[in-house]
A and B are shown apart, each in its own frame.
Chain A
């Protein structure tokens, strides 16, 4: 597949950003070549500089002096010196095209697909052909549509068709399938690979996902903090990684055959030990439980006594509530509609149909589905954020203490102008068991909780914006478990994180669940993460739960067509 003449050579490229007097080196001494018809994968976590290299090739770095780039870049054998000179825009415009992560933002919403394509192909017939090449079944119909009338997968195919219709020598694909559902992802990748290979153009494939890179690329360059730490044919890099960082990335990959009994990914033993230390179990005393079981206590008296106990010892008893029942959360026949366009019944868009789900005491249940399946709505209803149209929710516990939520975007879920300590204290004050604690006990509980989630005590004084994504998610988890809820509701808590960070957050949730004795409802699109966390996995599509299987045997036991499709897509 590799031919002799390189379409792109990068020699000793170094890129530095200047912001507020500080200089950040995004890329240092990177040397790469790309042959016609070849696909080169740039793999790394956020901050590795992979997108910056893509931006250099596209020539979209700001030319205002805030970025300096040194080194040599040649496209089609023509050296571009200096690299950032806007004068090279024209060459790049012809030779380099791009497929971005979010096709909705890169397609002009006011233009029909046909009009966009015709500019490059010249005629409607040629445009239709271009769409056929990206395996769009009814090209004539699609040409008349606007971007918003198409699905994400379709839009990304159109982006690919647009990019290739300009006959580039280099196609930069920057995380092109990250925003897509897993089952669509595989199709789009295949389309991209085949169409680019037919067109004979070189592909720079920027991704954080080693699995996707394996599927797509001929060669891989693994980047860490702006440096290429390993480079070579894809099978060699994936099959026998030589660099420690590559091995760590490989170890962080979530697959359907991981050992569920131990932490995943590269584990920092010291952190695990510290967390286990801080998480020494605190439980409701046996005699209190006995009196409750014997019917000597009313619910209020039970809560009151445990709260008083918490005040005395300075720590609210964990699983205060779930202790006395077998079911922590149950949803019965939940239906929910949202109002879209149109009047009356026609305008209603039903997102949940008669959903029933039970989360047992100390059980972890995962709710798996693709975007639009209704899984997040189910979680919001379980949390009480949304009201169901029909059906009942029963949470065990005091109002507001039965369930807590960990959101997908941890950074956005933490109030930016409050310190971590203020955020934790606020949560503690707003619980029945926390409210009776003294000021000192509350502070101590906040400090203890931060240790419990594996963060150093200095974090207490920081504001959320000063923390990394992984740290933010840990703080969000700390807020949720400072006073342990009976059910922890997690809404895609790891999908915005780098793989290694995601692993550590998954480990943390597993650990807390066992040490605090809380139940978990884990909403995700990632079968492997679901399997890792959950005792039971419920598969959801189009607002219905279609099947529920034990987490351990997920890959074998899923029997519905939809379930199999998810498994196959995850294996690919």
Chain B
């Protein structure tokens, strides 16, 4: 997991600033600095918006979120921005970057690298989002079931989870490719199958932690139980953790997808896939470096941006958990 639970707790603990809406006396112990137990008001509930105050985002956080925005927009509109059709040759082969009409040059058969990278970014990001959402959703369901119900169900689900964690993604993807054909879809399924257990574990741990908190006991004493207890008193504390983890995970999934594609487990050429492009271009690394380097750079930038934005997501979502 790129983000430990401790990290999240720290992030929540950072949330400072005692608010004094109806406070009669200055009760926060100024001697201890800003009270760590007073996270900024969360934004749930009908009347919450009136008192909403944006979390203090630093310049770095704003930059990071901006970069994520740019990458996402680029990936979405990229194919329309692409100057050439990405799957057919559009000029001379081996044109270097900044050539006339080919900003990033052309590859070994004369296809425009810029167009291919733009199209490849969309499928890369799209696949990563699909994998992350699927894994987070499925893992969360399993984790909540295990953590909230406990007992034999917990043990059973967690052993299954462990089993899936032990299976290498590459092998699953290869099996899928053999069964379903060599497509991006096989790689997506392959990764999602090994990715959800991480969420199941994370969510189970978080749910168990939150269920043991006094406010949940107090709600139970008040007669709240079952689904309502889960959605109203437990889930809001767990969801920021899942959201932050998922947002950071997109970077990791992009890397893993690229690795599978690099190994030839994605869609076959000439479909533009960043990992595949890097793999195919490797043999020209010394003569025409831009052919493998440009798609690799695109992967690196995307993965970096999502990882870098992790702290910013945390700041945005902090105060919502406990």
Q: Are A and B associated in one complex? A: yes
Q: How many A-B residue pairs have CB under 8 A?
A: 135
Instruction: Determine if A47 and B31 form an interchain contact, defined as CB atoms under 8 angstroms apart.
Output: yes
Instruction: Determine if B218 and A405 form an interchain contact, defined as CB atoms under 8 angstroms apart.
Output: yes
Instruction: Determine if B224 and A430 form an interchain contact, defined as CB atoms under 8 angstroms apart.
Output: yes
Instruction: Determine if A422 and B45 form an interchain contact, defined as CB atoms under 8 angstroms apart.
Output: yes
A129 to chain B, nearest CB (A): 35
Chain B residues positioned under 8 Å from A205 (CB to CB): none
Contact residues of A between 484 and 536, Cβ < 8 Å to B: none
Chain B residues positioned under 8 Å from A409 (CB to CB): 214
- Complex CA gap A383/B219 in Å reads 13
Chain A residues positioned under 8 Å from B33 (CB to CB): 17, 19, 62
Which chain B residue lies CB-closest to A408? B214
Instruction: Determine if A19 and B34 form an interchain contact, defined as CB atoms under 8 angstroms apart.
Output: yes
Instruction: Determine if A466 and B221 form an interchain contact, defined as CB atoms under 8 angstroms apart.
Output: no
Which chain B residue lies CB-closest to A398? B223
B163 to chain A, nearest CB (A): 28
Instruction: State which of B19-27, B68-76, B108-116, B294-302 sits at the interface with chain A.
Output: B19-27
One digit per residue, 1 when the CB lies within 8 angstroms of any chain A CB and 0 when it does not, for chain B 47-58 equals: 100000000100
Chain A residues positioned under 8 Å from B232 (CB to CB): 415, 418, 426
Q: Does B44 contact A (CB under 8 A)?
A: yes
One digit per residue, 1 when the CB lies within 8 angstroms of any chain A CB and 0 when it does not, for chain B 82-105 equals: 000000000000000000000000
Instruction: Determine if B26 and A225 form an interchain contact, defined as CB atoms under 8 angstroms apart.
Output: yes
Instruction: Determine if A413 and B218 form an interchain contact, defined as CB atoms under 8 angstroms apart.
Output: yes
Q: Which of A20, A25, A50 contacts B16 (CB 8 A)?
A: A20
Which chain A residue lies CB-closest to B39? A465
Q: Which of A50, A458, A467 contacts B31 (CB 8 A)?
A: A50
Instruction: Determine if B320 and A47 form an interchain contact, defined as CB atoms under 8 angstroms apart.
Output: no
Instruction: Determine if A52 and B41 form an interchain contact, defined as CB atoms under 8 angstroms apart.
Output: no
Q: Does A416 contact B (CB under 8 A)?
A: yes
Q: Does B11 contact A (CB under 8 A)?
A: no
With A385-B220, A416-B39 in contact, is A20–B23 under 8 Å at CB? no
With A47-B30, A413-B218 in contact, is A465–B16 under 8 Å at CB? no
Instruction: Determine if A467 and B22 form an interchain contact, defined as CB atoms under 8 angstroms apart.
Output: yes
One digit per residue, 1 when the CB lies within 8 angstroms of any chain B CB and 0 when it does not, for chain A 430-458 equals: 11000000000000000000000000101
One digit per residue, 1 when the CB lies within 8 angstroms of any chain B CB and 0 when it does not, for chain A 29-71 equals: 0000000000000000011111111110000001000000000
Q: Does A417 contact B (CB under 8 A)?
A: yes
Instruction: Determine if B223 and A431 form an interchain contact, defined as CB atoms under 8 angstroms apart.
Output: yes
- Complex CA gap A468/B23 in Å reads 6
Chain B residues positioned under 8 Å from A87 (CB to CB): none
B79 to chain A, nearest CB (A): 41
Number of residues from A at the complex interface, CB < 8 A: 59
- Complex CA gap A471/B18 in Å reads 15
Chain A residues positioned under 8 Å from B26 (CB to CB): 24, 47, 225
Q: Which of A226, A400, A470 contacts B27 (CB 8 A)?
A: A470
Chain A residues positioned under 8 Å from B216 (CB to CB): 415
B74 to chain A, nearest CB (A): 35
A135 to chain B, nearest CB (A): 30
Instruction: Determine if A471 and B322 form an interchain contact, defined as CB atoms under 8 angstroms apart.
Output: no
One digit per residue, 1 when the CB lies within 8 angstroms of any chain A CB and 0 when it does not, for chain B 214-255 equals: 111111111110000000110010000000000000000000
Instruction: Determine if B30 and A52 form an interchain contact, defined as CB atoms under 8 angstroms apart.
Output: yes
Contact residues of B between 3 and 35, Cβ < 8 Å to A: 16-34
Q: Does A274 contact B (CB under 8 A)?
A: no
Instruction: Determine if A404 and B221 form an interchain contact, defined as CB atoms under 8 angstroms apart.
Output: yes
Instruction: Determine if A46 and B29 form an interchain contact, defined as CB atoms under 8 angstroms apart.
Output: yes
With A412-B215, A417-B236 in contact, is A465–B38 under 8 Å at CB? yes
Q: Which of A48, A417, A426 contacts B45 (CB 8 A)?
A: A417
- Complex CA gap A225/B16 in Å reads 20
Q: Does B267 contact A (CB under 8 A)?
A: no
Q: Which of B17, B18, B29, B223 contacts A430 (CB 8 A)?
A: B223
Counting chain B residues whose Cβ lies within 8 A of the other chain, the interface size class is 35 or more
Which chain A residue lies CB-closest to B23? A468
Q: Does B42 contact A (CB under 8 A)?
A: yes
Contact residues of A between 383 and 441, Cβ < 8 Å to B: 383-385, 400-401, 403-405, 407, 409, 411-419, 422, 426-427, 430-431
Q: Which of B29, B34, B41 contacts A51 (CB 8 A)?
A: B29
Q: Does A212 contact B (CB under 8 A)?
A: no
Q: Does B156 contact A (CB under 8 A)?
A: no
Chain A residues positioned under 8 Å from B320 (CB to CB): 417
Instruction: Determine if A426 and B224 form an interchain contact, defined as CB atoms under 8 angstroms apart.
Output: yes
Q: Does B183 contact A (CB under 8 A)?
A: no
Q: Does A107 contact B (CB under 8 A)?
A: no
Chain A residues positioned under 8 Å from B34 (CB to CB): 17, 19
Which chain A residue lies CB-closest to B20? A466
Instruction: Determine if B213 and A412 form an interchain contact, defined as CB atoms under 8 angstroms apart.
Output: yes
Q: Does B170 contact A (CB under 8 A)?
A: no
Instruction: Determine if A49 and B31 form an interchain contact, defined as CB atoms under 8 angstroms apart.
Output: yes
- Complex CA gap A426/B224 in Å reads 8
With A20-B16, A422-B45, A431-B223 in contact, is A416–B322 under 8 Å at CB? yes
Q: Does B37 contact A (CB under 8 A)?
A: yes
- Complex CA gap A225/B31 in Å reads 10
Instruction: Determine if A47 and B17 form an interchain contact, defined as CB atoms under 8 angstroms apart.
Output: no
Which chain A residue lies CB-closest to B219? A415
One digit per residue, 1 when the CB lies within 8 angstroms of any chain B CB and 0 when it does not, for chain A 461-476 equals: 1110111111100001
Instruction: Determine if A47 and B28 form an interchain contact, defined as CB atoms under 8 angstroms apart.
Output: yes
With A47-B29, A50-B31, A416-B39 in contact, is A400–B23 under 8 Å at CB? no
Chain B residues positioned under 8 Å from A133 (CB to CB): none
Q: Does A479 contact B (CB under 8 A)?
A: yes
Q: Does A459 contact B (CB under 8 A)?
A: yes
With A411-B37, A430-B223 in contact, is A385–B30 under 8 Å at CB? no
A47, A49, A471, most chain B CB atoms within 10 A = A47
B18 to chain A, nearest CB (A): 8
- Complex CA gap A461/B48 in Å reads 9
B24, B216, B222, most chain A CB atoms within 10 A = B222
Q: Does A26 contact B (CB under 8 A)?
A: yes
Ranked 4 nearest A-B pairs via Cβ: A51-B31, A430-B223, A468-B27, A26-B30
What are 15 A-B contacts defined by CB distance under 8 Å?
A46-B31, A47-B26, A47-B27, A52-B31, A226-B30, A404-B222, A415-B219, A416-B39, A426-B232, A431-B223, A459-B22, A461-B47, A462-B21, A466-B20, A469-B27
B residues touching A (Cβ–Cβ < 8 Å)? 16-34, 37-39, 41-42, 44-45, 47, 56, 213-224, 232-233, 236, 320, 322
13 new A-B contacts, CB < 8 A, other than A17-B30, A26-B31, are A19-B16, A47-B25, A51-B31, A52-B30, A55-B31, A418-B232, A422-B45, A462-B21, A465-B19, A465-B38, A465-B41, A466-B20, A468-B27
